[in-house]
Amino acid sequence: MVKSKVRFDGLDVAAMVAHWNRVALGRRVVNIYNGSNGDTYLIKLDKQTGEAGHMLLLLESGIRFHATNESYENPGMPSPFCAKLRKHLRGLRLESVQQLGKKDRVVLLTFGSGEAQRHALILEFYARGNIVLTNSSYSILSLLRSHDYD
């Protein structure tokens, strides 16, 4: 019996970063959708020549991220965080995917390049994880999960 992997470790993150660098770079963000729960988001990227459909990047905060070509039904009204992602990322090209640190479970997605670089998404894959939207100088614009410390 094969046990399926529940959470990504540092090696899984490195492998998926390499995969996304092969299949997703240079594609424009068409739209962003809520997933099946409050911690899941889908980024719909444009079609490449000769492809049957759009590519979807699935982000599960704290768990995993992967690419798929499966169709997806729009669930309706976006959450406030999803609306913020749409506002800032729609129409931009995915320019880089990097793992921060050699074995760390943090991924940096950069949208736009050079003077046009405007936003980055930081994905955290430990504990419950987080998704952080920043501007080009890495000031936080919005985040999925915030914490108040006394």
Amino acid 84: pLDDT: 93
pLDDT of residue 3: 52
- CA atoms of 112 and 3, how far apart (whole Å): 39
CA distance 105 to 12: 9
Helix (H, G, I), strand (E, B) or coil at 108: strand
Task: Read off the pTM.
Answer: 0.85
Cβ burial, residue 32 (10 Å; 0-12/13-18/19+): buried
Instruction: Return per-residue pLDDT of the chain as tens, 150 residues.
Output: 555 567 788 888 888 899 999 988 989 999 999 887 878 889 999 987 667 678 889 888 888 888 877 667 767 788 899 999 999 999 999 999 999 887 788 899 999 877 667 788 888 888 888 899 998 888 888 898 887 666
Position 2 scores a pLDDT of 52
